[in-house]
């Protein structure tokens, strides 16, 4: 059973208080006939997975400036896309981004499917992204549930079941509130509500458009929900990175497509990802210190070793990349941390 009254109240709030984002069509513009670009909706949703809006804005602008259409992105070189993605993390998303763009061009003439089911047929698009694109770009009444929406539903219906066990229940409850009218604006409204009012800590219940019907507010437990199962302690991993300059070039290697930092360019390493490896070039290595990086499932500590070698020395692994072609900003974050620590060891020649 749908509750259209609550949806209408939220949409009135959204019309006045929606967040302005470079990929979003404002409700007034949408009412005037401006149609969201499914490419921009899809790109933003992929970027926003496991990442904040603040972190994504500049990446989104750079991507759409460089590749303004899905056809442009499909024709891009893999290395260029991976370089622009560097720093966003979860690099499998960038590989899937290219696979999806190329499938849209090759199999659908450069047009995204217009339904949730059609979108699910594309590589790299799961239930959440399919629902988000279908609702926001095509106004299909698909139920869109991200972390913000889960939190809103857990509080509105006072769901005590801890996360992630509660996910199916929260999706079903969100479906009850999803309206047939303006489902795209509604999907964004619930996410905005969770991001700006129904926040993880100190929710602003007094100005919430849903405060009258919120069961958690009535019981005084809004700040305690959603409940979460205790997290296991992250294990530590340790390893080594070797940063070598040969003449005016650096020794870099591209990681395998699958696995941690898949497809990304970085410094040769050993011991932290299960891949093994030896030092890339015979040298008198100097240890500069250690960098720390937090991955989803473990903490990583890497010794940083450097060597400065004369022109003509050939590496046993990796490739020589001239300094003029080496862009530290294209490296994944953990590699940039190592570069920041070691760059002073390589003064200009």
Stretch(es) of the chain classified as CATH 1.10.340.30: 4-142+178-196
> How confident is the model over 295-319, as pLDDT tens digits?
888 999 999 999 999 988 889 989 9
CA angle 46, 325, 302 (to 5 degrees): 65
What pLDDT, in 10s, does the model give residues 146-205?
Answer: 999 999 999 999 999 999 999 999 999 999 999 999 999 999 999 999 999 999 999 999
Examine the residue annotation and report whether 311 is marked as an active-site residue of this protein. no
Q: Topology of domain 236-345, per CATH?
A: Nucleoside Triphosphate Pyrophosphohydrolase (3.90.79)
* Euclidean distance between CA atoms 101 and 285, whole angstroms: 43
pLDDT above 90: residue 259: no
For residue 164, cis peptide bond before it (omega within 30 degrees of 0)? yes
Residue 15 has pLDDT above 60, yes or no: yes
Select which of 45, 84, 140, 253 is catalytic.
45
Confidence at residue 1, expressed as pLDDT on a 0 to 100 scale:
44
- What average pLDDT does the chain have? 92
Token pair listed for 315: 């590496």
Q: 119-155 pLDDT, tens per residue?
A: 999 999 999 999 999 999 999 999 999 999 999 999 9
Residues 6+ apart with CB under 8 A from 201: 223
Q: Which CATH number fits domain 4-142+178-196: 3.40.50.300, 3.20.20.240, 2.40.170.20, 1.10.340.30?
A: 1.10.340.30
Mark 177-191 as b/e (b = at least 16 C-beta within 10 Å).
bbbeebbbbbbbbbb
Confidence of residue 275 (pLDDT cuts 50, 70, 90): low
Q: Confirm if 342 and 243 have CB atoms less than 8 A apart.
A: yes
Report percent pLDDT > 90 for the chain.
75
Q: Classify each residue of 119-134 as buried b or exposed e, where b means 16 or more C-beta atoms within 10 Å of its C-beta.
A: beebebbeebbbbbbb
- Comparing C-alpha atoms, which of 169, 167, 186 is closest to residue 178? 186
């Amino acid at each position: 059973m749908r509750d259209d009254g609550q949806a209408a109240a939220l949409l009135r709030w959204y019309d006045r208080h929606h967040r302005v984002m470079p990929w979003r069509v404002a409700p007034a513009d949408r009412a005037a006939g401006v149609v969201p670009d499914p490419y921009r909706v899809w790109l933003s949703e992929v970027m926003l997975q496991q990442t904040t809006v603040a972190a994504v804005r500049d990446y989104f602008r750079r991507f759409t400036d460089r590749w303004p259409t899905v056809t442009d992105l499909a024709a891009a070189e893999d290395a260029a896309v991976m370089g622009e993605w560097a720093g966003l993390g979860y690099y499998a998303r960038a590989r899937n981004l290219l696979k999806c763009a190329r499938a849209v061009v090759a199999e659908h003439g450069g047009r995204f499917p217009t339904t949730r089911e059609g979108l699910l047929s594309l590589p790299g698009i799961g239930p959440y992204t399919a629902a988000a694109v279908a609702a926001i770009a095509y106004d299909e009444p698909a139920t869109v549930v991200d972390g913000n929406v889960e939190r809103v539903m857990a509080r509105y219906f006072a769901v005590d079941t801890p996360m992630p066990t509660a996910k199916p229940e929260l999706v079903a409850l969100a479906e009850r509130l999803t309206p047939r009218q303006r489902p795209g604006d509604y999907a964004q409204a619930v996410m905005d509500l969770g991001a700006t009012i129904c926040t993880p800590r100190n929710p602003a219940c007094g100005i919430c458009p849903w405060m009258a019907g919120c069961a958690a507010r009535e019981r005084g437990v809004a700040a305690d929900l959603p409940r979460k199962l205790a997290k296991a302690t992250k294990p530590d991993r340790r390893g080594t990175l070797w940063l070598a300059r040969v003449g005016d070039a650096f020794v870099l290697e591209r990681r395998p497509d699958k696995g941690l930092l898949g497809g990304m360019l970085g410094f040769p390493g050993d011991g932290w990802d299960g891949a093994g490896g030896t030092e890339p070039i015979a040298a008198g290595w100097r240890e500069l210190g250690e960098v720390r990086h937090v991955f989803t499932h473990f903490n990583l500590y890497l010794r940083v070793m450097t060597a400065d070698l004369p022109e003509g020395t050939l590496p046993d692994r990796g490739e020589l990349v001239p300094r003029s072609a080496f862009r530290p900003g294209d490296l994944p974050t953990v590699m940039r941390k190592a570069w920041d620590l070691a760059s002073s060891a390589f003064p200009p020649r």
